[in-house]
A and B are shown apart, each in its own frame.
Chain A
């Protein structure tokens, strides 16, 4: 059976198609405009940002916010806000925490997913549902008791603490996704490998895992983005640039009185770049994986 739906079912391009494509581009544009605005705000002079009547075309562009972030000397300090921003620390923390937690979440989650897919045992359904429910608990409900617990364990304001938290947050979804992917791989392949003398574990490594890599890619994107953008828990557990990640750092641009919107947008744009790169690289795998029919019921 070939896939591709009716998109490929032998149609010639008609005027209707052109209209459709235009509609598509317009919609995509609508989605892109807020993002465009963020980028634009990051390079404008402050007085224009909140002007009324509105200023659509900026009178001049300024890279001051970016310079401040990267520690380059600026002709004048950021409006009203003194102090340097430990951008390097935030970047390091975010990257280390997001990548490490993604790696471990993928590892543990894949193992759990494999166990669900290949074995039946008492309590499997219960454990599966419990894992899903763990994901349903929002950050703020968790934040204070978790903070107290981690303070006790000496994990508060540490990179390790944040990694552990994000691993826990991402395991349920990964496990669930990988469960689906592994089920799409016929058990006979395992059997065949085992008859040839492999242990089940070796069969997993040699047969199942390589076939399920697109699933790992898909889970990886979601896990990475979750860790990269998570705010509620990070703002409670991290306190100083020793472990603070980008999302709480964004919040720091808001003062009780004055907020540096331009700075916040600049940092957001910088935050976006690794995310875009990561996603662009992996999205091909992602689509391939999803269309493998593994997402189907």
Chain B
């Protein structure tokens, strides 16, 4: 049999080379034939290039006698969905009625997925929508990618006056406004009144740690506390504790400083709680839903949680702790600051949109008083002061004594403690570096100072690559 049955190395390399060469020339030809390989979002596909919005399109100019301001326009939305988010979209039909425009949802998904898609779309130049969901923690990435339109021309002083100032400011960068707030969330201490008994909730993080260790009762299956232990959740919790202890993530030159004594103290607290058995051992695999579940199952004495979970905890159908818990402001640290990691959901307009006026109008409607009231009735913390002024007195008449306290606490925290992570596009990448190391510290694989030093170095490298130190 003259057939060769196994290929020698030389022959294999020859074939591989031929195949590779052929493919490479083919793709080189294709690449030359097409545009440059790099997708450039700001020079996105020509057809959607938009002329500068002229004032002639503004609805303030008297519309034609029979027309509606945006008759025939389709505004396309890239939206967050799931849980309660979709309720707000029910007020869209009245806007469509009023303006003659149509709203089309191009994408709906949960928060992280929505963010990922936006990043990919801005990177690939495949943006085909006008309005997009946005968030104070995430928008800096989109600004850096050149995907968003500054909103100062579309929203004047009067338009913004009713929003809680700290929220609006959290959407400003480089002197421009990029987000219009929809609603926010912030965390407070949730604690079991039956387990704490007469004790007051902790005022400082030192107290918090001691109480948590004391309250841990393995025989009853009770843990003193817990934290969401992975991804941005962990980075965020660390951030707010180290801030309370007087630390900062960066100094004014963008050098990482979270390995300061304040940062080390914060990280050590987590590690000590874990080591003392005061937290569920699986916590480093917990995310928001898992920690909420645990509290609802009655296994946690106290922990910090978003206000948004309140109705879930008070619902006897889903929670075993309904009526057995109370809320308190988050503890403060050595820096005299109360923790207050927060963020707000918002709307933005894309740079490549051809219908910016219509988009702005839709956003005004969605973030207007009616929308806010709708969301406030669902227990969501809204952005408009006037709506707060209305619902707090209303809460007095509720059966649940916590209703009013909850709202007042939330408002207080929004005004005084509300703090977003650094408004830079690198927040997620740096969180990506930090959280595995924080997990190592918690699990005892490495001590706090060494771990944070390592993290600081890696973050510094990343910031250097991103051009912060030139």
Interface residues of A, Cβ cutoff 8 Å to B: 46-47, 50-52, 79-83, 120, 123, 125-127, 129-130, 144, 147-148, 151-152, 156, 236, 239-240, 251-252, 254-259
Contact = CB atoms under 8 A, between A and B. Distances in A.
Contact of A156 (B14, B109, B126): B126
B386 interface: no
B308 A257 contact: yes
A151 B125 contact: yes
Interface stretch (B80-88, B142-150, B171-179): B80-88
B18 A126 contact: yes
B350 interface: no
A85 to B, nearest CB: 11
A80 B16 contact: no
A130 B109 contact: no
B12 A129 contact: yes
B427 interface: no
A252 B82 contact: yes
Contacts of A147: 120, 124, 126
A256 B293 contact: no
A276 B362 CA distance: 47
B157 interface: no
Interface string B283-298: 0000011001100010
A252 B111 CA distance: 11
A125 B15 contact: yes
B18 A256 contact: no
A190 to B, nearest CB: 17
A50 B82 contact: no
A240 B106 contact: yes
Interface string B1-30: 001000100011011101100000000000
B366 to A, nearest CB: 16
Contacts of B16: 126, 129-130
Contact of A256 (B12, B87, B112, B120): B112
Residue among A46, A126, A151, A257 with the highest chain B CB neighbour number at 10 A: A257
Contacts of B3: 120
Interface in B305-326: 306, 308-309, 312, 317-318
22 contacts: A46-B317, A46-B318, A50-B293, A50-B297, A51-B297, A80-B84, A80-B312, A82-B87, A125-B11, A125-B12, A125-B15, A126-B12, A126-B16, A126-B18, A129-B12, A129-B16, A130-B16, A152-B35, A239-B107, A251-B113, A256-B110, A258-B289
Interface in B91-129: 105-113, 117, 120, 123-126
Given A50-B297, A82-B84, A236-B120, A256 B15 contact: no
A83 to B, nearest CB: 4
A151 B7 CA distance: 40
Nearest to B232: A256
B304 interface: no
A126 to B, nearest CB: 2
A254 B18 CA distance: 46
Contacts of A156: 126
A166 to B, nearest CB: 21
Contact of B109 (A79, A123, A129, A252): A252
Nearest to B90: A82
A295 to B, nearest CB: 19
A20 B353 CA distance: 68
B120 A240 contact: no
Residue among B117, B126, B299 with the highest chain A CB neighbour number at 10 A: B126
Nearest to A84: B86
A194 B124 CA distance: 53
B300 to A, nearest CB: 12
A236 B121 CA distance: 10
Contacts of A81: 82-83
A151 B126 contact: yes
A81 B120 CA distance: 26
Contacts of B120: 144, 147, 236
A52 B7 contact: no
Contacts of B12: 125-126, 129
Contacts of A151: 39, 124-126
A293 B374 CA distance: 68
B110 A127 contact: no
A132 to B, nearest CB: 12
Residue among B16, B82, B109 with the highest chain A CB neighbour number at 10 A: B82
B124 A148 contact: yes
B440 to A, nearest CB: 25
A256 B309 CA distance: 13
A158 B108 CA distance: 17
Nearest to A259: B289
B288 A256 contact: yes
Contact of B82 (A83, A130, A236): A83
Nearest to B290: A50
A9 to B, nearest CB: 34
B282 interface: no
Contact of B83 (A125, A130, A236, A255): A255
Given A125-B12, A152-B34, A252-B109, A80 B124 contact: no
Given A126-B12, A126-B18, 10 more contacts: A52-B297, A123-B18, A125-B7, A148-B124, A151-B124, A151-B125, A152-B35, A252-B109, A256-B112, A258-B83
A182 B19 CA distance: 25
A257 B289 contact: yes
Contacts of B117: 239
Interface in B187-203: none
Contacts of B111: 255-256
A80 B11 contact: no
Interface string B390-414: 0000000000000000000000000
A142 to B, nearest CB: 14
A120 B81 CA distance: 56
Given A47-B318, A50-B297, A257 B83 contact: yes
Given A126-B12, A256-B111, A47 B19 contact: no
Nearest to B7: A125
Contact of B86 (A83, A127, A252): A83
A51 B320 CA distance: 10
B198 to A, nearest CB: 28
Given A123-B19, A127-B19, A252-B109, A257 B125 contact: no
A240 B82 contact: no
Contacts of A259: 289
Contacts of B84: 80, 82
A255 B299 contact: no
Contacts of B14: 126
A239 B120 CA distance: 12
B124 A79 contact: no
